[in-house]
Amino acid sequence: QIQISSKNVLPPDVLTRVSEYVPEIVEFVRQVVSNGFGYESSGSVYFDTVKFDSGPQHSYGKLVPEAVGDQKALQEGEGDLSISADRLSEKKSPNDFALWKASKPGEPSWDSPWGKGRPGWHIECSAMAGSVLGESMDIHGGGFDLRFPHHDNELAQSEAFFQNDYWVRYFLHTGHLTIAGCKMSKSLKNFITIKDALAKNTARQLRLAFLMHSWKDTLDYSSNTMESAVQYEKFLNEFFLNVKDILRAPSDITGQFEKWEAAETELNDSFSDRKCAVHAALCDNVDTRGAVEEMRLLVGMSNGYIAGRKGAKRRPNRMLVESIALYLTGMLKVFGAIEGSEPIGFPVGGQSQSADLESTVMPYLTVLSDFREGVRKIAREQKVTELLQLCDVVRDDTLPELGVRLEDHEGLPTVVKMVDKETLLKEKEEKKQMAKLAKMKLPAGEMFRSDTDKYSKFDETGFPTHDVEGKELSKGQAKKLRKLFEAQEKLHSEYLQRSHHED
Ligand X SMILES: *[C@@H]1O[C@H](CO)[C@@H](O)[C@H](O)[C@H]1NC(C)=O
In this chain, which of 3, 89, 272, 450 binds ligand X, going by CB under 6 A?
Answer: 272
305 contacts ligand X (rule: CB under 6 A): no
- Give residues in contact with Zn ion (CB under 5 A): 125
Contacting range for ligand X; rule: CB under 6 A; set: 69-77, 130-138, 265-273, 382-390: 265-273
Shortest Å distance, C-beta 133 to Zn ion: 13
Smaller CB separation from ligand X, 298 or 424: 298
* Residue 271 interface partner, choices Zn ion, ligand X, none, CB cut-off 5-8 Å depending on type: ligand X
Contacting range for ligand X; rule: CB under 6 A; set: 149-157, 263-271, 364-372, 446-454: 263-271
* Residue 125 interface partner, choices Zn ion, ligand X, none, CB cut-off 5-8 Å depending on type: Zn ion
* Residue 268 interface partner, choices ligand X, Zn ion, none, CB cut-off 5-8 Å depending on type: ligand X
Smaller CB separation from ligand X, 306 or 391: 306
Shortest Å distance, C-beta 20 to Zn ion: 16
Smaller CB separation from Zn ion, 124 or 264: 124
CB-nearest residue to ligand X: 272
Smaller CB separation from ligand X, 265 or 398: 265
- Residue 339 Cα distances to 210, 294, 322, 362, 475, angstroms: 17, 21, 19, 21, 68
* Cα 290 to Cα 214: distance, rounded to the nearest angstrom: 9
Cα 243 to chain centroid distance, Å, stands at: 22
Smaller CB separation from ligand X, 67 or 263: 263
Give 379's contacts (C-beta < 8 A, 6+ positions apart). Answer: 385, 387, 388, 391
271 contacts ligand X (rule: CB under 6 A): yes
Beta-strand relationship, 38-41 and 117-119: unpaired
Given phi > 0 = left and psi -120 to 50 = alpha, else beta, which region is 404?
beta
In this chain, which of 59, 268, 303, 414 binds ligand X, going by CB under 6 A?
Answer: 268
Phi and psi at 438, nearest 5°, equal -60, -40
Shortest Å distance, C-beta 78 to Zn ion: 14
Phi and psi at 243, nearest 5°, equal -65, -45
Contact (Cβ atoms closer than 8 angstroms) between residue 100 and residue 123: yes
* Cα 404 to Cα 313: distance, rounded to the nearest angstrom: 25
* Residue 450 interface partner, choices Zn ion, ligand X, none, CB cut-off 5-8 Å depending on type: none
What are the beta bridge partners of residue 139?
170
Smaller CB separation from ligand X, 323 or 433: 323
What is the size of the binding site for ligand X (CB under 6 A)?
A: 4
Q: Can the peptide bond before residue 363 be classed as cis, meaning omega within 30 degrees of 0? A: no
* Residue 391 interface partner, choices Zn ion, ligand X, none, CB cut-off 5-8 Å depending on type: none
DSSP string, 160-175: HHHT-S-SEEEEEEEP
* Residue 34 interface partner, choices ligand X, Zn ion, none, CB cut-off 5-8 Å depending on type: none
Contacting range for ligand X; rule: CB under 6 A; set: 41-49, 158-166, 264-272, 483-491: 264-272
Contact (Cβ atoms closer than 8 angstroms) between residue 324 and residue 335: no
Smaller CB separation from ligand X, 89 or 272: 272
Q: Which of 389, 356, 355 is nearest to 372 (CA)?
A: 389
Smaller CB separation from ligand X, 322 or 420: 322
Shortest Å distance, C-beta 260 to ligand X: 6
Q: Which of 305, 216, 231, 218 is nearest to 269 (CA)?
A: 305
CB-nearest residue to Zn ion: 125
> What residue type is 371 in one-letter code?
F
* Residue 222 interface partner, choices Zn ion, ligand X, none, CB cut-off 5-8 Å depending on type: none
26: burial class by Cβ within 10 Å (0-12, 13-18, 19+)? buried
Contacting range for ligand X; rule: CB under 6 A; set: 169-177, 268-276, 343-351, 471-479: 268-276
Cα 151 to chain centroid distance, Å, stands at: 30
Shortest Å distance, C-beta 150 to Zn ion: 6
Contacting range for ligand X; rule: CB under 6 A; set: 186-194, 267-275, 334-342, 385-393: 267-275
> What residue type is 499 in one-letter code?
S
- Residue 138 Cα distances to 133, 166, 264, 472, angstroms: 10, 9, 43, 90
326 contacts ligand X (rule: CB under 6 A): no
Q: Which of 503, 501, 497, 496 is nearest to 441 (CA)?
A: 496
Smaller CB separation from ligand X, 268 or 366: 268
Shortest Å distance, C-beta 120 to Zn ion: 11
Shortest Å distance, C-beta 454 to ligand X: 57
Give contact residues for ligand X (rule: CB under 6 A): 265, 268, 271-272
